[in-house]
């Protein structure tokens, strides 16, 4: 019996892809690294540090660890400034209805996101008090596709992993959920072929 539903944040609750892209593009242009929207897809659902590693694969020179740390922090600064533009109007279609439906069914709810800016984003869109627990990349050592974020969410919710649905929009997130032994609901084109248990273009087109 399913007892909980864990939502990814970026691309599921709210779309921040364009903010991430603008911030990474700023860094890439400054460093002379080729970067476009197609390349940006590779960064979906992974940590800031891993995203930087992917971005720098095409860099014209190697980078020291301290240089990478500085670039990651600079990117986050740019990204957080852009996030100031977020409002509750940016919540994606179907999300609020889904959360309400889950609660009506007695399901526990959680956010499970690699983003260390999760709390800030939830505050900006007015959902800080909505979920039973929130787990972010700051709470675990290993980010997605490792299952740690989702396993910790289940632990905090007091449910078994096998009794959880995970809603994800990124292949790394689907992999993480399946590694945790959870059922998956994939939203968006990027996970259409990753074989989640259920797939739909938007949350409004899926059912629990």
For 172-182, the pLDDT digits (tens) are: 899 999 999 99
Q: Are residues 176 and 102 in the same domain?
A: yes
Greater pLDDT, 124 or 190: 124
pLDDT of residue 195: 54
**Which structure tokens are listed for 114?**
């690699």
Q: Are residues 98 and 63 in the same domain?
A: no
Indicate the average pLDDT of the chain.
91
Residue percentage of the chain with pLDDT more than 90: 73
Q: Which domain holds residue 51?
A: 17-83
> Does the model's pTM come out above 0.85?
no
Q: Catalytic: which of 8, 163, 169, 193?
A: 8
Q: Are residues 11 and 110 in the same domain?
A: yes
Domain stops at, among 26, 58, 83: 83
pLDDT of residue 206: 59
CA dist., res. 25 & res. 157, Å (int)? 37
Write the CATH number for 115. 3.40.50.1000
| Helix 17-31 vs helix 48-55: crossing angle, to nearest 10 | 40
pLDDT class of 208 with cuts at 50, 70, 90: low
> How many structural domains does the chain have?
2
CA distances from 111 to 89, 135, 156, 166 (A): 19, 6, 11, 9
Q: State yes or no: is 10 an active-site residue.
A: yes
pLDDT of residue 207: 62
Whether residue 197 is predicted with pLDDT greater than 90 in this model: the reply is no
pLDDT of residue 182: 96
Q: Are residues 62 and 150 in the same domain?
A: no
Q: State yes or no: is 36 an active-site residue.
A: no
Provide mean pLDDT across the span 41-64.
91
Q: Are residues 115 and 137 in the same domain?
A: yes
Q: Are residues 8 and 26 in the same domain?
A: no
Q: Are residues 65 and 32 in the same domain?
A: yes
Q: Which of 14-18, 19-23, 177-181 has the lowest mean pLDDT?
A: 14-18
């Amino acid at each position: 019996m399913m007892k909980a539903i864990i939502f990814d944040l970026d691309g599921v609750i709210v779309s921040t892809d364009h903010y991430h892209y603008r911030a990474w593009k700023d860094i890439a242009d400054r460093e002379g690294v080729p970067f476009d929207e197609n390349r940006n897809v590779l960064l979906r659902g992974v940590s800031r540090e891993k995203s930087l590693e992917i971005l720098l694969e095409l860099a014209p020179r190697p980078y020291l660890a301290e240089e990478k740390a500085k670039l990651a922090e600079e990117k986050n600064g740019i990204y957080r400034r852009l996030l100031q533009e977020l409002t509750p109007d940016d919540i994606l279609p179907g999300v609020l209805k889904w959360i309400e439906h889950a609660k009506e069914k007695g399901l526990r709810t959680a956010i499970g996101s690699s983003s260390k800016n999760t709390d800030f984003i939830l505050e900006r869109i007015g959902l800080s008090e909505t979920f039973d627990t929130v787990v972010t990349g700051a709470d675990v050592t290993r980010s997605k596709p490792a299952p740690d974020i989702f396993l910790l969410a289940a632990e905090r919710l007091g449910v078994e992993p096998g009794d959880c649905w995970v809603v994800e929009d990124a292949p790394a997130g689907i992999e993480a959920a399946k590694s945790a032994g959870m059922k998956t609901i994939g939203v968006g084109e990027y996970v259409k072929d990753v074989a989640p248990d259920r797939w739909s273009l938007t949350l409004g087109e899926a059912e629990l």
